[in-house]
Structure 1
Amino acid sequence: MKLLASGVFALATLMASSALAQAQAPANYGPAIPGVCVYYGAQTLAQSTVGQSVSTRMNALSQEVAGELAPYAQSIETEITALQQGRASIPPAELQSRSQAVEQRIREAQQLEQTRQNELRYTLDVQRRAIATAVDPIIVAVYQERGCGLLLDRESVYLMNPAMDITPTVIERLNVALPSLSFNRLQVPVDQQQAQ
């Protein structure tokens, strides 16, 4: 859930900064430099239909994980409250046994949450790679069509003449080539689990 929240925040920040940049655009951009093009991958992820479908599905998967974890948290909280309220009346051996059981359930819940977070990260990474695989040949084609000799990342460019931006064309073509992705939460492969 932390990952998704930060991803949603980053997307919202991106959209807000994009809107702010458009509002503060100069009156005269200057000439488009022949052979120099700019591409903005984050905009492609945010505005393409496939990027939006991945975002929507990741939100749904995150909600599923939250729903799966909620009963664990609720039962642990209930047991902790019962132990705190009954501290004076529960025999010490039983109090210790129940406390240890709660600690074990907390560790198990934390481990499950970590596993699910890793699965969500891995699932998102797989979808981003699928988008990259689809978008790379489109970028190359537009680069060649526009006669680009240099392709800059939009994140490295403060201001530019919009005529140099190939992103809208790439998004249009990606929307046709890969309108959406359908997927479920993926388990992290064992070899990658060990690396984490």
Structure 2
Amino acid sequence: MALACFGAAPAFAQDTAQPAPGPGRGYQLGLPQSGILTIQPERLFSESAFGKRVEREMEAEGAVLTAENRRIEAELRREELELTERRSEMEPQAFRALADAFDQKVQDTRRRQEQKLREINQMGEEARREFISASLPVLQQILRETGAGAILDHASVFLSADAADITSLAIARIDAVLGDGAAQEDGDR
């Protein structure tokens, strides 16, 4: 009798380990079999075609701004040297007025260039929001297909099986739907 009970236990455990497949349970090949999935949001964006395009655009804008900053810096340095050379030929009040005007010009220029940098960063943040918004239907589809109840940020999960991470799957599917996103942005303009 005891032997029969012990013999039946492994069979019972095997039967209950795999719930019966049903609609929305996600028992398709290549999909995780987990009630909770994880995703790496930074990797999702940066490794997607959309994210790579945005990164290239931001780098290009940043390079233009850097070149502009260097040009402006050289011009201001020349102007400062000319002002310094003229100092001995000028009345102190006249020199002070020119020096104050130059300082104001430097501060105004710095503010303009910092605003341009903020705009480039804002462009990246807006692109991320657009990406997440456009990606939600794909992520919801994966959620439905797997039968999972939630997708959590991988970084906030203490412990999980690697199989629960859907980042690579999501990147492939999002790329198939969105591509690099340039067509959507051109349509918005």
Structure 1 residue matching 2:88: 3-state secondary structure: coil
The aligned counterpart of 1:178 is: 178
Structure 2 gap segments, 5+ residues each:
1-31
Kindly provide the amino acid, as one letter, of the partner of residue 156 in structure 2. S
Q: Alignment length, in residue pairs? A: 153
Kindly provide the amino acid, as one letter, of the partner of residue 162 in structure 1. D
Rg comparison, structure with higher value:
2
Kindly provide the amino acid, as one letter, of the partner of residue 126 in structure 1. E
Q: In the alignment, is the contact (CA less than 8 A) between 1:34 and 1:148 conserved in 2? A: yes
Q: Which moved more, 1:161-170 or 1:61-70?
A: 61-70
Deviation at 1:87, TM superposition (A): 3.5
Deviation at 1:180, TM superposition (A): 1.2
The aligned counterpart of 1:62 is: 62
* C-alpha distance 84-155 of structure 1, shift in aligned 2 (>3 A): same
Q: Show CA shifts across 1:54-79 (max 9, x none).
A: 11110101111222333322222222
The aligned counterpart of 2:80 is: 80
- Following superposition of structure 1 onto structure 2, how do residues 153-164 of structure 1 map, counting pairs within 5 Å? 153-164=153-164
Structure 2 residue matching 1:87: 3-state secondary structure: helix
- Matched residues in 1 for 2:95 and 2:75: separation? 17
Q: Show CA shifts across 1:118-138 (max 9, x none).
A: 211221122112211221111
Q: Percent of aligned pairs with the same residue?
A: 22
Q: TM-score, normalised to structure 2's length?
A: 0.72
- Matched residues in 2 for 1:170 and 1:34: separation? 15
Matched, 1:95 2:118: no
Deviation at 1:48, TM superposition (A): 0.9
Kindly provide the amino acid, as one letter, of the partner of residue 124 in structure 2. L
Q: In the alignment, is the contact (CA less than 8 A) between 1:76 and 1:105 conserved in 2? A: no
The aligned counterpart of 2:36 is: 36
> Which structure's relative contact order is higher, taking Cα pairs within 8 Å and 6+ residues apart?
2
| Stretches of 4+ aligned residues off by more than 4 angstroms | none
The aligned counterpart of 1:152 is: 152
* C-alpha distance 60-42 of structure 1, shift in aligned 2 (>3 A): same
Deviation at 1:85, TM superposition (A): 4.4
The aligned counterpart of 1:12 is: none
- Matched residues in 1 for 2:181 and 2:60: separation? 14
Q: In the alignment, is the contact (CA less than 8 A) between 1:50 and 1:181 conserved in 2? A: yes
